[in-house]
Structure 1
């Protein structure tokens, strides 16, 4: 067969190249773009889950604040829902995403250590007992006034508080810990059949704080493995599960209508 060369005008080649470039996907994964302040996305592997991630450096920017919310302004009435929280935010602030932030009693009051705006709402709970909160070790998600976020096992934090090495401005205690210094909680069973919707938070190697809500029922071991192996979070904390798991993330069309106690959210100042 004879060979031949097909010549195309330069404008045709340029147009074809432009069309190819326009079809390339644009990544929104915070792990792929460390300069991104925050992002929310959904994933299907190893199970279906929603992930909201904050670049820790963003919390040094006055535009962004990671906050805990519980009661309505100038009131002892609990917020209860994301809708009420949204209605009470100042007009110059936007709620980028939010999640339930720990376990609560029948009055929607927190059962673990809670600090909001430097005020201690509930003291550190080191008691033994039943339920997930007391599946020891449990832990505390906390950060100081400079926005340095940590997840610390409760007894360790107690020592740090007593020696003034930790000065939380916000704190929420829950349990169990999911990952402790790169190790999955020792009481989690890989063969467990207890499947529930679960949500939690991790402080991760890539400099992000990651909040996860499973979109399908999973075991504690599966959930902890996600933080350890897939998200590379040396320390992660279970926040709650079942009917208490709630997520507000309008960028991925998530807006749960459940009632809850303390909430955690990323606020952006629009001024």
Structure 2
């Protein structure tokens, strides 16, 4: 009887110790290839949020675009350059088979023919010259700006007049560029013409280059004012520079990982592409 009382707890304790040791050893083992691939997906992701208002955001880590498998691209016309693509479905149809579109949204503003109204560069070819004119509408709510990146994949948002100087002295050599307006955040300050008490709330989308070098592509799912949309980039997402892309019926998002696939028509599109070769 005394032997029975003491040997059973010791036996249980031994089993527990063996289980703990097995877990510790396995935790130190390298992951298999599938797990590693899954972990790499943290370099980009799309998520839906409910606060401070409903919005969807796709995030790219700063070093992802130096990986030859990935590229950020602008798309506008069909492969024969005769007609605008207009929709995400048409874009998906023209992508070469080794490539896959991870997410996309509308880019710079466009006219009634779906042609860009601001500076547009696609693979170093200037499609539309830098637009420094004054006028009405959101595009001309100055300062406006340009989202652009060079061939190395370094992405920047630059106020339009500042970029004009960089283009002139050769310090900026865009591989891709799209101009829109207004700027939402300029050097960590909200656009000076935005009113925090404004009641003009609309669906809006934009992009921010954040303090850690990452990119945030945001599409509001609920109407929001310019001020509060800009505040999201500045205060919540920590993006010292952000650019409004468009709003209302022109805001569109393709993000299959969060079940977003807008069917709207648009001009230039921006998308993250993975080359699976």
Query: Which whole-Å CA distance do the structure 1 matches of 2:62 and 2:99 have between them?
Result: 19
Deviation at 1:75, TM superposition (A): 2.8
Q: 2:79 aligns with which of 70, 73, 87?
A: 73
Deviation at 1:36, TM superposition (A): 2.8
Alignment of 1:153-232 (within 5 A): 153-232=159-238
Query: Which whole-Å CA distance do the structure 1 matches of 2:220 and 2:42 have between them?
Result: 23
The answer to whether 1:48 aligns with 2:60 is no
Residue pair 2:184, 2:191 contacting (<8 A) in 1 also: yes
Deviation at 1:232, TM superposition (A): 0.3
Residue pair 2:62, 2:212 contacting (<8 A) in 1 also: no
Query: Which whole-Å CA distance do the structure 2 matches of 1:88 and 1:53 have between them?
Result: 24
Counterpart residue number, 2:250: 244
Deviation at 1:34, TM superposition (A): 10
Deviation at 1:102, TM superposition (A): 1.2
Counterpart residue number, 2:150: 144
Question: TM-score if structure 2 supplies the norm length?
Answer: 0.86
DSSP 3-state at the match of 2:229: helix
Query: Which whole-Å CA distance do the structure 1 matches of 2:96 and 2:43 have between them?
Result: 21
How many pairs does the alignment contain?
249
DSSP 3-state at the match of 2:42: coil
DSSP 3-state at the match of 1:36: helix
Counterpart residue number, 2:270: 264
Deviation at 1:114, TM superposition (A): 0.1
Deviation at 1:44, TM superposition (A): 1.0
Deviations 1:132-190 (A, max 9, x none): 00000000000000001000000000011001010001000000000000000000000
Query: Which whole-Å CA distance do the structure 2 matches of 1:231 and 1:150 have between them?
Result: 16
Deviations 1:80-130 (A, max 9, x none): 000000000000000000000011000000000000011000000000000
Q: 1:35 to 1:97 in 2, by over 3 A?
A: closer
Q: 1:34 to 1:135 in 2, by over 3 A?
A: farther
DSSP 3-state at the match of 1:56: coil
Query: Which whole-Å CA distance do the structure 1 matches of 2:101 and 2:66 have between them?
Result: 17
Alignment of 1:14-33 (within 5 A): none
Deviations 1:35-65 (A, max 9, x none): 9321100111111110001112010110000
Counterpart residue number, 1:131: 137
Query: Which whole-Å CA distance do the structure 2 matches of 1:192 and 1:75 have between them?
Result: 42
Query: Which whole-Å CA distance do the structure 2 matches of 1:85 and 1:62 have between them?
Result: 21
Question: TM-score if structure 1 supplies the norm length?
Answer: 0.88
Residue pair 1:182, 1:233 contacting (<8 A) in 2 also: yes
Q: 2:88 aligns with which of 82, 86, 92?
A: 82
**Where does structure 2 lack aligned partners over 5 or more consecutive residues?**
1-8, 24-38
